[in-house]
């Protein structure tokens, strides 16, 4: 377990992953502490003046017109957290909550929020103790921040509500804080608002989706190459000079990956043997174009994520010249769009993988493979229903590709009259990534079986390495029908864990 140091200038995607998934400890730098103290001095000075300042001495949203006196301001900050912690539905995943809290702490440490250093330290202490607030699926419209999810996190800092301890047990937050020697915070002017006004949930999910998709796109290049090989296709369409004349970087990378996997194959190039064909089907021949477009979409999404990681998202913000100004930087549109773009690209990658799987199973299009890759077709059904499962997953992927960010629903008495729905985009992308992993695993399962059925032909060394590794992982090869779900689950785990790439890359070198 490593350590992540938080300063004033944002953080990295790697640090988010380290905290969210690997329980890295967080330390606040002296720079961050100084910035926190300086911005708090500005807020305290404004709080002492008679003039109302939004978020410091006024109500919030549609209630911002009311001036709040000093005697009610602590109550105001407590009340905004309590009232906004209004989520419903299933709990979201621990890693999502940890990313959410860490990214809010990142913005707090920027010195633009006016939060006291001791509040920031408590946020770090809660994360370091492995305490995870209960956050629910529904409650964010992706504008004015991920309000309900962040409010549930702030509630834990106050020692209220429920949270999960490091042992996974659900307990009252106050008990968990006390058990770890953490004193609940007593919020002062602006602090309640600052803790819940950011795009942190959707950004955290974007960063983790990008990390997972990077592995998945490489894995999909491998399975596409295995299917091409199993179908006795031609690798000539992968030549770098062909992709250079349509210079999309992702396309070139995918083609190069497939070519590396196929190096030394004795199966490719037989497309004109018994049943001559001029070209392979689109799902095989155009694999780099489709996967490459998804890779380029990921590159754009990564740029957006990096900009957001460098941002201080709050309203109002404390500026270096001492002003506290309202703004609209909490709007989730930039993040919501790329979350939806990624869901579209993932759906298309799943769709083309399913078409290749179906081709492997169809005796009229598989160029000599047995129907459904069955041992004794008719007696055995082979992988017929594995493809049904894959098709069902693809169908759901298409539904998940419908953009959430194209919708908006007004709230807060029409003050917040256009929202991003970025949280919803992020939630459905997580499901899409999960499903895509299963889709790639089913293609892998079918393609490795098909290659093994090509008796008398020698697969590429990389393919042979995959087959040996997946068989050692408990995924059985060709043979009579058996209970298929355990095999598919093992193939899914093989892809999900990165074992597929670990089997290939010692032969091919690192894939792009």
Strand, helix or coil at 288? helix
Q: What is the pLDDT along the chain (512 residues), one digit of tens a residue?
A: 799 999 999 999 999 999 999 999 999 999 999 999 999 999 998 888 888 877 777 776 667 778 878 888 889 899 999 999 999 999 999 999 999 999 999 999 999 999 999 999 999 999 999 999 999 999 999 987 899 999 999 999 999 999 999 999 999 999 999 999 999 999 999 999 999 989 999 999 999 999 999 999 999 999 999 999 999 999 999 999 999 999 999 999 999 999 999 999 999 986 555 656 678 999 999 999 999 999 999 999 999 999 999 999 998 899 989 898 889 899 999 999 999 999 999 999 999 999 999 999 999 999 999 999 999 999 999 999 999 999 999 999 999 999 999 999 989 888 888 999 999 999 999 999 999 999 999 999 999 999 999 999 999 999 999 999 999 999 999 999 999 999 999 999 999 999 999 999 999 999 99
The secondary structure of residue 367, as a DSSP letter, is T
Phi, psi of 247 (to 5 degrees): -80, 60
Other residues' Cβ atoms within 10 Å of the Cβ of residue 186: 13
* Annotated active-site residue in 54, 138, 217, 388: 54
Neighbouring C-alpha atoms within 13 Å toward the C-beta of 416 = 24
Q: Is 54 a catalytic residue?
A: yes
Phi, psi of 88 (to 5 degrees): -140, 165
Vertex 310: Cα angle to 304 and 312 (nearest 5): 110
Cα 431 to Cα 118, 188, 212: the distances in Å are 37, 38, 12
Q: Tell me the DSSP string of 305-364.
A: HHHHHT----SSEE-TTS-EE---TT--HHHHHHHHHHHHHHHHHHHHHHHHHHHHH-TT
- C-alpha 272/C-alpha 285 separation (Å) is 15
């Amino acid at each position: 377990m490593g350590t992540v140091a938080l300063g004033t200038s944002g953080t990295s995607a790697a640090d988010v992953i380290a905290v969210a998934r690997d329980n890295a400890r967080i330390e606040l730098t002296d720079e961050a502490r100084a910035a926190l103290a300086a911005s708090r001095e500005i807020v305290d000075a404004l709080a002492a003046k008679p003039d109302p300042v939004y978020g410091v001495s006024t109500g919030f949203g549609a209630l911002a017109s009311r001036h709040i006196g000093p005697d009610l301001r602590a109550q105001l900050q407590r009340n905004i957290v309590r009232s906004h912690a209004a989520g419903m539905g299933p709990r979201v995943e621990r890693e999502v909550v940890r990313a959410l809290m860490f990214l809010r702490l990142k913005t707090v440490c920027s010195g633009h929020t006016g939060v006291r250093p001791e509040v920031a330290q408590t946020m770090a202490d809660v994360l370091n103790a492995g305490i995870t607030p209960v956050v629910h699926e529904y409650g964010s419209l992706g504008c004015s921040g991920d309000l309900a999810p962040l409010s549930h996190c702030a509630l834990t800092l106050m020692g209220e509500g429920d949270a999960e301890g490091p042992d996974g047990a659900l307990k009252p937050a106050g008990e968990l804080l006390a058990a770890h020697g953490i004193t609940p915070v007593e919020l002062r002017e602006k602090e309640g608002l600052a803790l819940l006004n950011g795009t942190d949930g959707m950004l955290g999910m974007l960063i983790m989706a990008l990390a997972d998709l990077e592995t998945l796109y490489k894995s999909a290049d491998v399975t596409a190459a295995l299917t091409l090989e199993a179908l006795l296709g031609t690798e000539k369409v992968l030549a770098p000079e062909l992709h250079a004349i349509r210079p999309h970087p992702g396309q070139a990378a995918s083609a190069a990956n497939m070519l590396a996997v196929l190096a030394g194959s004795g199966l490719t190039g037989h497309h004109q043997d018994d049943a001559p064909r001029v070209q392979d089907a689109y799902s095989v021949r155009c694999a780099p174009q489709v996967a490459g477009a998804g890779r380029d979409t990921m590159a754009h999404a990564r740029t957006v994520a990096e900009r957001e990681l460098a941002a201080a998202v709050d309203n109002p913000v404390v500026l270096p010249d001492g002003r506290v100004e309202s703004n609209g930087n909490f709007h989730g549109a930039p993040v919501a769009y790329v979350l939806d773009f990624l869901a579209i690209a993932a759906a298309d990658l799943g769709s083309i993988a399913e078409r290749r799987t179906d081709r492997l199973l169809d005796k009229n299009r598989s160029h000599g493979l047995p129907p459904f890759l069955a041992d004794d077709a008719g007696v055995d059904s082979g992988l017929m229903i594995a493809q049904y499962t894959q098709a069902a997953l693809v169908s759901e992927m298409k539904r998940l590709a419908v953009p959430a960010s194209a919708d908006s629903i007004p709230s807060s008495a029409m003050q917040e009259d256009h929202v991003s729905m970025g949280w919803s985009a992020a939630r459905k992308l997580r499901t899409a990534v999960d499903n895509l992993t299963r889709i790639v695993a089913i293609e892998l399962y079918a393609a490795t079986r098909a290659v093994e059925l090509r008796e008398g032909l020698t697969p590429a060394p990389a393919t042979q390495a995959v087959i040996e590794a997946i068989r050692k992982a408990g995924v059985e090869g060709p043979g009579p029908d058996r209970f298929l779900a355990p095999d598919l689950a093992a193939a899914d785990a093989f892809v999900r864990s990165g074992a597929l790439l670990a089997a290939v890359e010692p032969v091919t070198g690192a894939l792009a």
